[in-house]
Structure 1
Amino acid sequence: MPKPIVLHLGDDIKWNHELYTQLQEKFTIKRSYSMNRSDFMQALKTKQFGDFVAMYRPFWNTGGEMGNWDDELISLLPKSCKIYASAGAGFDWVDTKRMAEQGIIYCNAAAACTESVADAAIWLILSTFRNFSWSAIAARSLDVEKFKDASQNIAAVTHNPNGFSLGIIGLGKIGYRIAQKAHASFEMRILYNDIRRMPAEIEKSIDAKFYAKLDDMLVDADCVLVATPFAGDKVMDAPHFAIMKRGSRLVNIARGKLIDEEALVAALESGHLTSAGLDVHYNEPAVNQKLAKMKNVELLSHTAGASIESHIGFERLGIENILSFFSTGKAVTAVNLHWLKSSSNL
């Protein structure tokens, strides 16, 4: 019997060669490399890759040239395909519900970049309290007056984060790791809002307070961290900013479209919010020009999860998802199981 086919999207692997050899022993690997959307769709229509049973995308920045995975693309996948294991934490670019309707499990790789994202979040949180962006920009300007201005005036408007409250929207794996670091390093008080309450032992480990309603948490938090997946709509807009504590801060390491940036600009300009730290942006790679000019806003280029360790983990976890699914019937990091109609779809 011929081996089942795995379709490998994007670049060659770079690190997990022994594990990839295990995949090759059990499956025939076919490659699409970096095809554009029209070519990829034509390849699917003509069954260029055969009736593959799985798709593997080890890098978040290659193998995605075909754009969003919507019904137009998903409907062309062979009925034999049962799992899509991709790099990256977010999955707003793929219609996971539509995949489930076609009997395909989608697996992300958030676990692989948890540490990197958490470290970046801590930097952004710290920056919103200490205004490192103002200081860094002044130093890099080589302007003596700007240097003196920052050096002499930052102390009057910044704080140590110790003892302040961090309100986390979405206490998943990444949100929890951020909470651990903030609680242990800065002795911050942890508040959180999620669709479900965490087990008592989880809450106890970070001394966390659960809020069933987001609005109630926003009233109490000194710094609000957005760490929830994008589900099709904003979670922070003008009404939400209005009920936040005056002088509080906002950090986003999730997805840019979760934030109404114009409303954020207005809240910062009015002084209602003291500062913000953003790794992700609404129209990225384009950055909001108003936010970019603000010295009380720390901006990154969607690099919170960018590290060699993350990439190694993305590679490994994708392979592990496929091997686990076909050996045990269960994937490691499936995110759309709740959409699957029944086990018969698998």
Structure 2
Amino acid sequence: MAPKVLVSDKLSETAVQIFRDRGIDVTFDPSLGKDKDALLAAVKDYDGLAIRSATKVTEKLLEAAPNLKVVGRAGIGTDNVDKPAASKKGVIVMNTPYGNMITTAEHAIAMMFAVARQIPEANASTHAGKWEKSRFMGVELTGKTLGVIGAGNIGGIVCQKAVGLGLKVVAYDPFLSDERASKLGVQKVELEDLLTRADIITLHVPLTDQTKNILSAENLAKTKKGVRIVNCARGGLVDEEALAALLKEGHVAGAGFDVFAVEPATESPLFNLPNVVVTPHLGAATTEAQENVALQVAEQMSDYLLTGAVTNALNMPSVTAEEAKVMGPWVKLADHLGAFVGQMTDEPIQAIEIIYNGAVADMNLEALNCSAISGVMKATNPDVNMVSAPVIARERGVEISTTRQDKSGVFDGYIKLVVKTASRERSIAGTVFTDGKPRFIQIKGINIDAEVGAHMLYTTNEDVPGIIGTLGQTMGENGVNIANFTLGRSDRGQDAIALLYLDDQPPAPVLEKLRATGLFQTVSPLRFDV
């Protein structure tokens, strides 16, 4: 059955057609984004939800959508999506951070010019029939020092365009490398230095606990007299009350704001000040940008629903379509390894260690980690998946560690999973053969070669004669067919294990008969999603 996607906000017909062309069953109803009750009633049967800013993806909406696998936001901002709730429900949240980068950067540059030359006020005055040339004395941008807070995707474009316009650019960004700064043609500085040197300050960072009010009253007071402030990034980065006071005092010469702490902004301390230019969050509002992000989100969601490729996800590691093809069997193996130890562990897990050896160590380990953790967690919560499992593990205080190793042993690559509880440690290793099928190759240090099936039986015992006969006879007498049978032991007369691949789940009375023989220390039925 084809995946189903609901488009609940305005998206271009070309983007909607992409879903159809890719074989997706798409419903286009942009009226739903503004009608939460109608959306709640409609969303339950869909695998994907494509939105802009009108649709609010709340915990309540997610509860009403049991089949939902992915939310795609056409644009960069996801403030309208409850991402923690989505992660707990196992729903991937994607955005399109690159489709509107140029448009937003251009808007910031435009705001600098508008503020520097008082263009909106001069425009209004001239339309009113006035000719106030002497009133609108502006300043040149050329030769001025521009302070860029955040030199990532959009900030980097602003840096390049500003350098081209003849500004001297200083940038504050904890993640900006010296090499990247040199390539952009900017000087990397600390925030304190930027505040005291910049003639114009423009912000290009997300709103986080670290960046909230990054231009606080205290930091604004450190700026040079006559500075101009531009914010086309996110509301809440600047203390609007403090900025308004400094604008009235004349310490700040002007400001250009496209975003506000509360939106839609019907009032603000910055409104109606003569030296302030404001726009209603138009950073991404160009025909080109809106089309780009719409096409991008349609492609990304289709790729995920059809191939498992994950692009621009905010709560899941990205996996390209090519990676998905190569990694598919390894992702499945990681899930099987996790499912084995998860089903064998009946006390709280304190730590999970995942060891990657050989060729697999060069793959996308974040995605493999998510699959392994998901396998472990499904034993106690069958509804978890690769998105929600890491969240649940963190909430439970489970320590996750990853180790890469160079090739060792007879296999080109393998994954080993170690789970620790307060009283014991369990380990299992597996590999993927050339036929693409996952295999278990070691359990608690004992080498084996076991194909993975949907129904399996794991037993442990002392290495003594009669084990194989007892297992075979008990299964046969009770109509349980053995598809594959694998044995292993640590040494003669020592610990031994058996792993049976069965056609069906063994009934409880059969398991009790095996336990009653007194030959087995462990008799554990296992189930795997193959």
TM-score, structure 1 normalization = 0.82
The reply to whether residue 77 of structure 1 matches residue 57 of structure 2 is no
Runs of 5+ unmatched residues, structure 1: none
Shift of 1:123: 0.8
CA contact under 8 A between 1:190 and 1:206: conserved in structure 2? Answer: no
Deviations 1:209-268 (A, max 9, x none): 234x53342222221112222236333221121112221111011122332221110011
For residue 54 of structure 1, the aligned residue among 27, 48, 52 is: 48
The reply to whether residue 230 of structure 1 matches residue 210 of structure 2 is no
Residue in structure 1 matched with residue 447 of structure 2 by the alignment: none
Distance verdict in 2 for CA 1:169–1:74, change over 3 Å: farther
For residue 183 of structure 2, the aligned residue among 205, 225, 231 is: 205
The reply to whether residue 265 of structure 1 matches residue 244 of structure 2 is yes
Deviations 1:38-86 (A, max 9, x none): 3333445xx3xx2x332222xx355x2xx3x3333334432x4332111
Partner Cα separation in structure 2 for residue 132 and residue 199 of structure 1: 36
CA contact under 8 A between 2:160 and 2:185: conserved in structure 1? Answer: no
Residue in structure 2 matched with residue 168 of structure 1 by the alignment: 148
Deviations 1:137-165 (A, max 9, x none): 321232x3xx32xx11433xx32111222
For residue 220 of structure 1, the aligned residue among 197, 218, 223 is: 197
Partner Cα separation in structure 2 for residue 254 and residue 137 of structure 1: 26
Partner Cα separation in structure 2 for residue 97 and residue 121 of structure 1: 31
Runs of 5+ unmatched residues, structure 2: 318-365, 375-385, 388-530
For residue 301 of structure 1, the aligned residue among 272, 275, 280 is: 280
The percentage of aligned residue pairs carrying the same residue is 25
Larger radius of gyration between Structure 1 and Structure 2: 2
Residue in structure 2 matched with residue 240 of structure 1 by the alignment: 219
For residue 169 of structure 2, the aligned residue among 184, 190, 207 is: 190
Amino acid at match of 2:26: I
Distance verdict in 2 for CA 1:327–1:199, change over 3 Å: farther
The reply to whether residue 14 of structure 1 matches residue 13 of structure 2 is yes
CA contact under 8 A between 1:110 and 1:174: conserved in structure 2? Answer: no
User: Any idea what SS the aligned residue of 1:239 has?
Assistant: helix
| Residues 1-346 of structure 1 aligned to structure 2 (within 5 Å) | 2-11=1-10, 13-16=12-15, 19-23=18-22, 25=23, 27-31=24-28, 33-35=30-32, 36-44=35-43, 47=44, 50=45, 52-57=46-51, 60=52, 64=55, 67=56, 69-78=57-66, 80-142=67-129, 144=130, 147-148=131-132, 151-155=133-137, 158-184=138-164, 186-198=165-177, 200=179, 202-211=180-189, 213-231=190-208, 233-288=212-267, 291-326=270-305, 329-337=308-316, 342-343=370-371, 344=374, 345-346=386-387
Shift of 1:303: 1.5
Partner Cα separation in structure 2 for residue 250 and residue 125 of structure 1: 8
User: Any idea what SS the aligned residue of 2:50 has?
Assistant: strand
Partner Cα separation in structure 2 for residue 296 and residue 97 of structure 1: 40
CA contact under 8 A between 2:108 and 2:230: conserved in structure 1? Answer: yes
Amino acid at match of 2:40: M
CA contact under 8 A between 1:133 and 1:296: conserved in structure 2? Answer: no
CA contact under 8 A between 2:12 and 2:291: conserved in structure 1? Answer: no
- Indicate the larger mover: 28-37 or 307-316: 28-37
Partner Cα separation in structure 2 for residue 269 and residue 72 of structure 1: 44
CA contact under 8 A between 2:19 and 2:25: conserved in structure 1? Answer: no
Partner Cα separation in structure 1 for residue 192 and residue 119 of structure 2: 29
User: Any idea what SS the aligned residue of 1:111 has?
Assistant: coil
Partner Cα separation in structure 1 for residue 265 and residue 10 of structure 2: 25
Amino acid at match of 2:249: S
Amino acid at match of 1:152: S
Partner Cα separation in structure 2 for residue 334 and residue 76 of structure 1: 22
Amino acid at match of 2:142: N
Across the two proteins, how many residue pairs are aligned to each other? 321
Greater strand share, 1 or 2?
Answer: 2
Distance verdict in 2 for CA 1:139–1:14, change over 3 Å: same
Shift of 1:166: 1.7
CA contact under 8 A between 1:89 and 1:109: conserved in structure 2? Answer: yes
User: Any idea what SS the aligned residue of 2:134 has?
Assistant: helix
Amino acid at match of 1:108: N
Amino acid at match of 1:292: F
- Indicate the larger mover: 107-116 or 232-241: 232-241
Distance verdict in 2 for CA 1:225–1:330, change over 3 Å: farther
Partner Cα separation in structure 1 for residue 61 and residue 15 of structure 2: 29
Partner Cα separation in structure 1 for residue 305 and residue 117 of structure 2: 49
The higher-RCO structure (CA 8 Å, 6+ apart) is 1
TM-score, structure 2 normalization = 0.55
Distance verdict in 2 for CA 1:74–1:122, change over 3 Å: same
Partner Cα separation in structure 1 for residue 77 and residue 231 of structure 2: 13
Greater helix share, 1 or 2?
Answer: 1
Partner Cα separation in structure 2 for residue 154 and residue 236 of structure 1: 28
CA contact under 8 A between 1:86 and 1:108: conserved in structure 2? Answer: yes
Partner Cα separation in structure 2 for residue 53 and residue 181 of structure 1: 41
**RMSD value over aligned CA atoms?**
2.7
Shift of 1:335: 2.9
CA contact under 8 A between 2:16 and 2:26: conserved in structure 1? Answer: no
